[in-house]
Amino acid sequence: MERLIFHIDVNSAFLSWQAKYEQEILHMERDLRDIPAVVGGDPKTRHGIVLAKSTSAKKHGIVTGEPLLRAMEKCPGLTVVQPRFDEYVRYSHAFMKILEETAPVVEQASIDEAYCDMSGTSRLYGDPVAFAHSLRERIRKELHFTVNIGISNCKILAKMASDFEKPDKVHTLFPNEIVTKMWPLPVQELFLVGKSSARKLQELGIRTIGDIARMNPSILQLHFGKQGISMWEHANGIDDSPVCAESDAAQSYGNSTTLSFDVKDAETAKKILLSLCETVGARLRADQTYIRCVTLTMKDCDFHTSSHQTALDDATNVTEYIYREACRLFDLHWNHTPLRLLGVSVGKVTDDSYYQMDLFSSEQTDTPSTEKLSRLNAAIDCIRNRYGEDSVKRARFLESGDSHMTKGLNKAKRESDFTT
């Protein structure tokens, strides 16, 4: 039986859902989708980035992920609204419910997109393209937002197809259509090819997806490692990965914040790092996982970004140890340029944790300290889960007014992936 895969992606999800919320709940007449608008941070400060944009905002050159200030400079009359993640999760659940009623297997890729394995359903639904149009129209009529649907025999081509002309469209990209529909596209349009990879490809004279597909894969591997092989496979539509109803466990955890002021001193920076680590550690313990790698990300006032990573000798989910490594990286790599963003992420996730005792230590104080900190963290988590995140704070946050858990364990944020 030949595979049939749908990739279904909500058009400008956060903006569409925000517009739906304003009209249905707040009874506002405006439609954010029809005006230059973005969902992002607080317009009164520099805090936040553009999470979603309207078509009108896109025409002003505004792109998802750029700082809010830059977007407002591009479009002085830009309407900025702060996100309502709890509402977005509710709309996402309604979206996924329709897909689960329709498809035998649904894999949620993020809060606003999913793969549906429709193999063998033609006898039930008829022509796949006609059925995709009826599904698209059902979502628009019942949920009042639009989606794009890409159709192919594998996930990568279905994903590429759904990114063709938007919004509210259905596109196919079967193997016999690759040469005409995908190969003429620029390299940056290929799934998982980022800006730096696209720039390097162009420096090598590789400008279209077809150029990648026709390359000797060993040459791509020489320049890009394993990613080069993936590029070649994607460009040729090679992908046998299954649609899985249950998503894999998280492979990394992270937290970052764009600051409303330039950080110029180490003490303030480390206080912010502590609030980030507090949340990361709590998320790890909530999922009963441990990590062996800590990464620090810094963006300075000139928008130069740097990331620095360190490996741990022992797997941990203790907040204090994550914070210790983040501070060590900060001391090693900060050049005293004012900072506007700080981030901490952790990786090499494992379910197992053990602590290696130092056989040559005369005092053997490390192991009891680790055990005590683990129990302390667990007790604090228990109190916060029962009485709220603000029920227990570290002393340095008591009178400062600063957040002691940046982007804390809000249930809506914890249950969904917002890196779309």
Q: Which residues are catalytic?
A: 113
Gap between the Cα atoms of 412 and 90, Å rounded: 9
Gap between the Cα atoms of 299 and 343, Å rounded: 9
Gap between the Cα atoms of 176 and 174, Å rounded: 6
Contact present, 296 and 329 (Cβ < 8 Å): yes
Contacts of 51 (CB under 8 A, 6+ apart): 14, 38, 39, 40, 64, 83, 418
Strands, E, within 63-146: which ranges? 79-81, 105-110, 113-117
Gap between the Cα atoms of 123 and 389, Å rounded: 52
Gap between the Cα atoms of 184 and 211, Å rounded: 9
Contact present, 410 and 390 (Cβ < 8 Å): no
Contacts of 415 (CB under 8 A, 6+ apart): 89
Residues forming beta bridges with residue 117, ordered by sequence position: 5, 105
Determine the Cα angle at 66 with ends 63 and 70, to 5°.
Answer: 100
Q: Taking the mean position of all CA atoms in its chain, how far away is CA 152?
A: 25
Please measure the distance between the N-terminal and C-terminal CA atoms of the chain and give it in whole angstroms.
32
The residue written with tokens 């595979």 in the block is: 3
